[in-house]
Structure formats: C-alpha cells, structure tokens
Amino acid sequence: MNRRVVFYVRHARTEAGDIFGSIFKKGGGSIFLIAEVTLFHEGGFRIMRKKTIFIVILVLVLVPVFLLTGSKKEPEKAAKPEKITIVVYEPVEAKGMTEFGKVFTQKYGIEVEVFTVPWANLHEKIIADLTAKTGTYDLIAIPGLWSLEFIYAGYIEPLDTYWSNPDLPSFDIEDYPQDIVNLVADDDHVYWIPHHATTQILFYRKDLFEKEKLRPPDTYDDLFRVAEIFTNNPKYPGVYGFATTPKQGEWASSTWSTWIWSWGGDYFDKNWHCIFNNATGVASLEAYAEAVQRFAPPDCPNYGNEEGGAAMQQGRVAMLQMWPYLATAMQDPSQSKVVGKVGYAPMPKKELRFPRLGSWGLTISRYSKNKEWAWRYMAEFNSKENVETIHREAGMPICRTSVASVLAEEDPLFKAIFVSFEHTKERPGIPEITQIIDVWGLAVSRVVVGDTDAQTALDDAAEEIEVILRDGGYLKD
C-alpha cells in the first residue's frame, strides 16, 4: 500500500481539508497538517487509519498567495486510458475476460488487451514485471497459492479501498465464500475477487460406463477395479483406464496433493517439519504411481492439464483426474471426439474425499497506471449478471455463491464440484511455495517414471525442503 506524508491546507477543498478546517479555527495565516494518507488517481484523499497521527502543526503567518490558490482547485478525475491490460493463464479465463473486454470497450471506449501466458512461464513473467515496476499489466490473475508472496511484497492493491470509494463501483464481496476470499487477504484488507474456485474432479466416459453397467468410483479401490476393466480390453481398443497429470513440476504436485490428503496425510506438521515422507505419504505416492504405470497411456508421465485434457478429448482414457475448466473443451466438436459422452463425479476417497482446491482471481498491480479503470473492469466483470452469462458461457468455474448454488441443482458438473467442497484445501501459501512445489513435483515424477522408489524420493525432497524452510525462518531447531 502506498503511504506518503501530505500537507493539507485549511481552506483546501478536499475531504480531509474540510474535516481539519472545521477543527482548527484560530490563528492568522494558514494551518498545515501532516498526516498519513493515501492518494487516489481521481485526486481525492482518504485517511487510511482511524487514529491519524499528527506529526507537525505548523502555523505560517505569511504564505505565498499562489500556494493558497493552487490548493483550492477541485481534484481531477483519473484520466481515461487508451487501454488496460490483463495477464492470465487459463484459456477459459482469457475467453471470458476477452468477451467482457468487448463490452467494456463499447461502454467506455477503452481497449482491453488480455495476455495469456503458459503456466510454466507465468510466475516468472509476472514477477519480472512487478520487480521492474514497469506496470505492464494493470490486472493480474493469480492463484490463491501465491497470496502471501504477493501481499508481503506489496505487489498488489487492497481492493476494499476501491469499493468503499463513493466515486467508484461498489462490490458485494459477501456473495463469495469467505474462506476463498480470505485466501488473498490479511487482517485489514482484501486483495482479490476470486472469479474461479473449484476442486479437482473425475471426468469419466458415460457411454463406456453404461456399457459395463458401472457407476463412478466412490473409493480408490473402486477406481483401480474400474480402470483395470478398460485397460488393454479388446472391446475398447486404444482406451486406457485412467490418467492424471504427473508431469514434473506443478502438475505432479497438484494432483498428488489430492491423493496424500485422501490417504489422511499432509505436508507439514504445525511446526513446519516435513511429514509427507512418513508411511502415509509414501503409501499415497506408491498408489498414485501405480495407477499411472498400470492404467494410463504410455505418454502420461508427460501430461500437464492440456495434455491430459487432450487425451480425454481424443477418446484415449476412460477416467481422468482433472480441473473442471476443461469440461467446456470436451463438448467442442471442433476438437473433441467425445462430445456428449463425458460425465463428471467427485474424486474417490481413501480415508476421506479430499481434492485439492484451485482458486484464481484478479488483482490490481501496485504499479498499474490505470488502477481506478482496472477496478472498474474487475468489478463489472464479476457482477452477478456477468457471472451468470459471460463467466458461464466461457466455462469458468463459478464461485459467486448466489449463482453457483443454483447451478449445482441443475448441472452435474457443478454438482460434482459442490460435493467436493466438503473437504478441500490448498498447499500452504507461503512465499517459498513455488520453490517447494518444484521439489515435490520432481519427487513425484521420479517415482512415476521408475527412477526411484517413493520413500527415497520423498526423503530426498524433505531434506531439500527443510533447507528452504530454515532459510525462510520457519524451522528453528
């Protein structure tokens, strides 16, 4: 948050000036007050603390007339930019934001440019722009996973200062699940609007399941049994029973998270000691690797989200652990051979059904030169009306409660997601998490491809991650 020392003149026609002018009545000349405030682009001043600290009260008997004259001017509105820019990862986000961009351009005459960046380059590209303070992107779509890194570094703007500004659009943030909102918030401020909150679910071939008179698997034992039926079955040539995303990096870490939590395990204890390499964690990784090795297509170790989705679209797999945003692609006849044949179910359970939570939302870059117009785009894009139309038509996973609750009653995809919300969470959003995820992702990939066993891979990962945690001050002993 930008804080600066600002001098207020008693007769200045600002919100703060009017307040302070009513307090100080005495004395010749002009009274100047110094207080901690924030300056908005529209020119108005808003005090950020209830208890403003007065550092100096300076009484000047003689003040140049030009100072007083300048202080009487009305604050100017933020200049209308020619363009605002957005950086995103997921194709359905880009589609929705581009579609709304057309509406925004028609309404305000401001061009909206949406940059879609592959996951492998997204964090690096965004951080490079933020550390350089260039303000290339006005709006940045981030996952909740990056929350603390971006808040602690001061990269993103607190949004409540915008929706509480009477000159800007308000926003009904209370229509969103509080746990999701709080992923990118601190004790004082909210830093995002989450347009996407969902869990991993199971895509399955309805037509094949109907032929075998099968139901979606309720447990992982069921998943193995069903996957075996479709793998190497001459009745279903070219079909494999199951696939997930064991590609090294975020993809492997992401999908294995669902398995370790379902087995009853976790990554760290309350004191940040690694526990993912205990017997429970090892068993979950062994099962994950076995599922890929026994039932998945030979190229599955290289699957990220897009590759896994393509395998389902081409009719190569009977079941797929995947994110709901790819459901739209399954129904696109220009790229899918399984239109109308894909069903959706919650992921199975071991001890618990515990899929990983995925969340994305828009934030305003601290270095944007168009913050108020960026806010206007964000607030209008996430209005209930646009969530019901543009978000849904783009295939975005909806988390605005008043809309999502209705969809869950009529759409099997949303029903699968809602059932999955009973137990779900995300990996810890500490600033070091991107580095830690790379370590987890390598460990999982090594086991899947058969380079080493689960215990060795996780022990090696724990040793490396403990160094990261000690350097970050999390581990003291």
Q: How would residue 52 be classed by pLDDT, with cut points 50, 70 and 90? A: very low
Q: Which region among 170-174, 203-207, 220-224, 398-402 has the lowest average model confidence (pLDDT)?
A: 398-402
Taking the C-alpha atoms of residue 180 and residue 182, their distance in angstroms, rounded to an integer, is 5
- Phi-psi category of residue 135: left, alpha or beta, with phi > 0 → left and psi -120 to 50 → alpha: left
Say yes or no to pLDDT of 432 above 90: yes
pLDDT at 60: 36
SS3 string, the chain, reads CCCEEEEEECCCCCHHHHHHHHHCCCCCCEEEEEEEEEECCCCCEEECCCCCCCCCEEEECCCCHHHHHHHCCCCCCCCCCCEEEEEECCHHHHHHHHHHHHHHHHHHCCEEEEEECCHHHHHHHHHHHHHHCCCCCCEEEEEHHHHHHHHHCCCECCCHHHHCCCCCCCCCHHHCCHHHHHHHECCCCECCEEEEEEECEEEEEHHHHHHCCCCCCCEHHHHHHHHHHHCCCCCCCCCECCECCCCCCHHHHHHHHHHHHHCCCCCECCCCCECCCCHHHHHHHHHHHHHHHHHCCCCHHHCCHHHHHHHHHCCCECEEEECHHHHHHHCCCCCCCCCCCEEEEECCECCCCCCEEEEEEEEEECCCCCHHHHHHHHHHHCCHHHHHHHHHHHCCCCCCHHHHHHHHHHCHHHHHHHHHCCCCECCCCCCCHHHHHHHHHHHHHHHHCCCCCHHHHHHHHHHHHHHHHHHCCCCCC
Least confident residue range of 21-25, 61-65, 93-97: 21-25
What are the pLDDT digits (tens) for 282-326? Answer: 999 999 999 999 999 999 999 999 999 999 999 999 999 999 999
With a pLDDT cut of 90, the percent of the chain lying above it is 73
17, pLDDT greater than 60? no
CA angle 49, 149, 126 (to 5 degrees): 110
Give the type of residue at 43: G
pLDDT at 77: 63
pLDDT tier, 205 (very low <50, low <70, confident <90, very high otherwise): very high
pTM for this prediction = 0.76
End-to-end CA distance of the chain: 34
CA separation for the pair 434, 454 (Å, rounded):
22
Task: Give me the mean pLDDT over the 234-260 stretch.
Answer: 97
Can you tell me the mean pLDDT for 351-358? 94
Say whether pLDDT at 35 is over 70. Answer: no
The yes-or-no verdict on residue 68 having pLDDT over 80 is: no
Look up residue 360 and give its amino acid: W
Least confident among 93-97, 305-309, 418-422, 446-450 = 418-422
- What distance in Å separates the CA atoms of residue 283 and residue 295, rounded to the nearest whole number? 18
Q: Which amino acid is at 458?
A: L
**Residue, of 438 and 52, whose pLDDT is higher:** 438
Between strands 83-88 and 139-143, the pairing is: parallel
Domains 83-198+358-420 and 201-355+432-471 share a fold: yes
Tell me what the mean pLDDT of segment 85-89 comes to.
Answer: 97
Give percent above pLDDT 70 in the chain: 84
The domains of the chain are located at: 4-71, 83-198+358-420, 201-355+432-471
CATH number belonging to the domain at 201-355+432-471, selected among 3.40.309.10, 3.40.30.10, 2.60.120.10, 3.40.190.10 = 3.40.190.10
Fold of 83-198+358-420: D-Maltodextrin-Binding Protein; domain 2 (3.40.190)
- Tell me whether strands 357-364 and 139-143 are parallel, antiparallel or unpaired: antiparallel
Higher pLDDT, 292 or 7: 292
Question: Are 315 and 338 contacting, i.e. CB atoms less than 8 angstroms apart?
Answer: yes
Cα separation, 79 vs 459, in Å, equals: 56
Mean pLDDT is lowest, of 120-124, 244-248, 360-364, 378-382, for: 120-124
Q: How far apart are CA 171 and CA 181, in angstroms?
A: 13
Closest CA to 321 of 261, 265, 252: 252
- When the pLDDT of each residue in the chain is averaged and rounded to a whole number, the result is 85
Mean pLDDT of 205-216: 98
Average pLDDT over residues 187-192: 92
Considering only 64-68, 235-239, 319-323, which range has the smallest mean pLDDT? 64-68
Task: Give the pLDDT of residue 49.
Answer: 35
97 touches 329 (CB < 8 A):
no
Find which of 27-36, 83-92, 417-426, 445-454 is predicted with most confidence, using mean pLDDT: 445-454
Please tell me the predicted confidence (pLDDT) of residue 75. Answer: 35
Q: Dihedral sign for Cα 274, 278, 280, 285, please.
A: positive
Say which residue, 431 or 211, is predicted with more confidence.
211
Q: Reply yes or no on whether the pLDDT at 398 is more than 60.
A: yes
**Tokens at 74, concatenated:** 């009305």
Confidence check: pLDDT of 461 > 60: yes
Q: Is the pLDDT of residue 56 over 60?
A: no
